[in-house]
Amino acid sequence: MTPEEMKKEVRTSLYDVYDPETGLNLIDLGLIYDVEWSPENGEVKVTMTFTTPACPAGGVMISGVERRVSTISGVEQVTVDVTFEPPWTPEKITPEGRRQLGWG
């Protein structure tokens, strides 16, 4: 699998991890900033954010990402980095996410 294919696979898998309050998956909510893949050691690094730094479900979402990505064939290690630079804004919600939230 090429790095691009693996990144795509990881992103697709994150459609299965949901924010418990809104019910939106992390991709459509716009929480996933970046995905990196190191074929040498099988490590996937996910850089993500939360809608607010004091998100009560933050830890759960990190664990969910780790669990889901580690089920992908070829992944040996998952690292999740949380950043608030740039901070999340509603503009990061995808059109599908907006539709699910009742807009359009």
Using CB under 8 A as the binding rule, whether residue 89 contacts another protein is answered as: yes
Using CB under 8 A as the binding rule, whether residue 86 contacts another protein is answered as: no
3-class secondary structure, 51: coil
Pick 40 or 76: Cβ nearer another protein: 76
Among the listed ranges 3-11, 35-43, 95-103, the one in contact with another protein (CB under 8 A) is 95-103
Count interface residues toward another protein (CB under 8 A). Answer: 40
For the four alpha carbons of 84, 85, 91 and 93, in that order, the dihedral sign comes to: negative
Residue 14 has which token pair? 């994150």
Q: What is the CA radius of gyration of the chain?
A: 14
Burial class (CB in 10 A: 0-12, 13-18, 19+), 43: middle
Using CB under 8 A as the binding rule, whether residue 67 contacts another protein is answered as: yes
Using CB under 8 A as the binding rule, whether residue 35 contacts another protein is answered as: no
Q: Contact residues for another protein (CB under 8 A)?
A: 16-23, 49-69, 71, 82, 84, 88-90, 93, 98, 101-103
